[in-house]
Structure 1
Amino acid sequence: MLGGGIQTMSITEVFGEFRTGKSQLSMTASVICQLPKDHGGAEGKVAYIDTEGTFRPERIKQISDRFGVDGEAACENIIYGRALNSEHQLELLNGLCQNFASGEFRLLVVDSIMACFRVDYCGRGELSERQQKLGQMLSKLSHMAEEFNVAVLMTNQVQSDPGASALFAGADGRKPVGGHVLAHASATRILLRKGRGEERVAKLQDSPDCPEREATYIITNGGISDPEGTK
């Protein structure tokens, strides 16, 4: 669906409701990133900023088993930071620049980008300040992606909006949180939604070089897989 994978030097946003596999996709990508290039990887380390406490080392080890990677080594190649609020989230991001200067990192995950902002800034009275701070963080992410040639994968929550346009909302009326500031920062946007039974559907809504299309997947012990469990 993505024409080969997550692009470096740009921001890819994945949004959807709960239990659609956003964190599972993030952890799967964290393992795939470490694979050799001839196996679809990037032969690099991963930086993981967790704002919701959903990261699990045991899941990394399970996913590693699927790809024939040593689980302990995979965990060691992931620098992990638990963001407690939006300011701490930006501090963690700034601290990564020194690590990225080594040239060993190929993926930066933020799961999720808006969780801390939604807690720290409540109501319309603080909306302007929230968007300003969010814009600063997204600008930092964009600059890091370009300067260090890394792929930025960020997950996002959704909110109900029955009057939303089809461009920004799915068929069920849900749209990603963050407004136009986030929409303009993301080069690639992917909507995750629940399908039939255990199936999930990813829809590519915005991309600089790929047409709109969908892909079906399931969540297994080995992370995100196609319905046959082969990819």
Structure 2
Amino acid sequence: MASRALKRAGVSPELCQQLQRSKIESCKELLSRSPFEVMHAAGLSYQDALEMLVSVSRIIAPSPITALELWKRHSESCFSTSLPALDKVLRGGLPCGNITEVAGPSGCGKTQFCLMLSVLATLPKELGGLDRSVIYIDTESAFSAERLVEIAQNRFRDRFCSKEKVLEMAGRVHVYRDLTCQDVLNRLERLEEIIISTGAGLIILDSVASVVRKEFDTTLPGNLIHRSNMLGKEATTLKYLAHQFNIPVVLTNQITTHIGHQDSRPAAEKDGGFVTTALGNTWSHSINTRFIVQYMAGCQRQLLVAKSPVAPFAVLNYVIQKEGIHIVENDGEDILYEGMDPSLQPIRVRTELNIDSN
């Protein structure tokens, strides 16, 4: 992809350093210059500059791939969630090289799910992990190291029975607190080098909606376009990183109220509107897989596989325990929204009817 750093495209360190003086650091910046500009910036002959442009353009051009190769890649590169029922629906787990979004109201366990995945990614491959580190971008200051350790010690008691193993796991989860849109975008633009230096096998952005919704009032002229452009840049960068390194990218998203009529609406509907995922229709097409989490009666919650290139629509009930997410038997209250636009999937929120009496 064009945003790839020049040194990742086979350009020598000496030439990279020379080009940096002319503010040319990425393949995109290089390919946007004419051969004459590159010749002067790099101190090369015209022919050498032209050859470098051709070489870089060939390297970043996407190579064709067959359906057979894609099929093999999926079967060999799924990240198990350690939830057998969910892994079965997803045909192995979270797909590497893709973006998975977990959307839902506050308190449904989105961050808990991310923390659980962080622990899993650090596990050895023989235990179902990736044996890699984690990049965790926290935009809501919701990350809890104490909760991370609690999940690890309760979900994998034998593995994390010693302090050394716990410290090793925690040391492989790299947390970045980026609290503005520009901070997040700057982080994503530098993420390629961070992935290489840390040996990361999982990227988590919790949450993609938080800073965007704070900074962009979409009722003001022009803000919706600016927000869409910002989200488009983030999605493009994350897709490139997921594909380039063949790793899973997990995002969390918030909810919003959609005004309008929707058939088969749940109890969340109110005054002609219903609760659905935030950031709109364009964003919903930027992700590959979407989970929706919502409230049920008492302490139970529900996970909907609302969008997936490999899985059918599915419903799983779960509770949040010390070990993280725990799938429970469905109680027959499943609600199906077949054929619905995933960006308009109604979501159940907490009401007086489903608050636990305790």
Normalization by structure 2: what TM-score?
0.60
Determine the C-alpha separation between the residues in 1 that align with 2:266 and 2:305: 11
Letter of the aligned partner of 1:88 in structure 2? D
- Point out the structure with max Rg over C-alpha: 2
The correspondence for 1:194, drawn from 284, 295, 318, is: 295
Q: Does 1:152 align with 2:249?
A: yes
1:211 aligns with 2:312: yes
Query: 2:281: which partner in 1?
Result: 180
Once the 2 structures are TM-superposed, how far is the Cα of residue 89 of structure 1 from its aligned partner? Answer: 0.6
CA contact (8 A) 1:103 1:148 kept: no
Please state whether the residue corresponding to 2:190 is helix, strand or coil: helix
- In 2, the alpha carbon distance for the partners of 1:26 and 1:46 equals 11
Aligned partners of 1:182 and 1:75: how far apart in 2? 32
Match of residue 13 from structure 1: 101
Give the whole-Å Cα distance in 2 for the aligned partners of 1:42 and 1:26.
Answer: 15
Contact 1:101 1:148 in 2 (8 A): no
Matched residue, 2:115? 27
What stretches of structure 1 of length at least 5 have no aligned partner?
Answer: none
Q: By percentage of residues, which structure has more strand? A: 1
Deviates further, 87-96 or 197-206? 87-96
Q: Distance in 2 between matches of 1:171 and 1:206?
A: 22
Match of residue 131, structure 1, among 187, 205, 228: 228
Offset, 1:28: 0.5
Partner of 1:37: 125
Of the structure 1 ranges 86-95 and 15-24, higher mean CA displacement relative to structure 2 is found in: 86-95
| Conservation of the 8 A alpha-carbon contact between 2:138 and 2:176 | yes
Measure the CA separation in 1 of the matches of 2:246 and 2:306. Answer: 24
Could you tell me which residue of structure 2 aligns to residue 73 of structure 1? 168
Aligned residues: 227
CA RMSD, 1 decimal: 2.0
What is the deviation of 1:170?
A: 7.0
Distance in 2, Cα, partners of 1:163 & 1:129 = 25
Measured in 1, the distance between the counterparts of 2:310 and 2:127 equals: 23
Give unpaired runs (5+ residues) of structure 2. Answer: 1-85, 269-273, 330-358
Compared CA separation, residues 71 and 170, structure 1 to 2 (3 A): farther
1:104 shift after superposition: 2.3
Q: Is the 8 A contact 2:133 2:198 kept in 1?
A: no
- Higher helix fraction: Structure 1 or Structure 2? 2
| Residue 195 (structure 2) pairs with residue 84 (structure 1) | no
Give the 3-state SS of the residue equivalent to 2:328 in structure 1.
Answer: coil
In the other structure, the counterpart of 2:4 is none
Cα deviation digits, residues 52-91 of structure 1 (max 9, x gap): 0100111111111021333222211011100120000111
Distance (whole Å) between structure 2 residues aligned to residue 227 and residue 32 of structure 1: 20
Identity %: 30
Shift of 1:127: 0.8
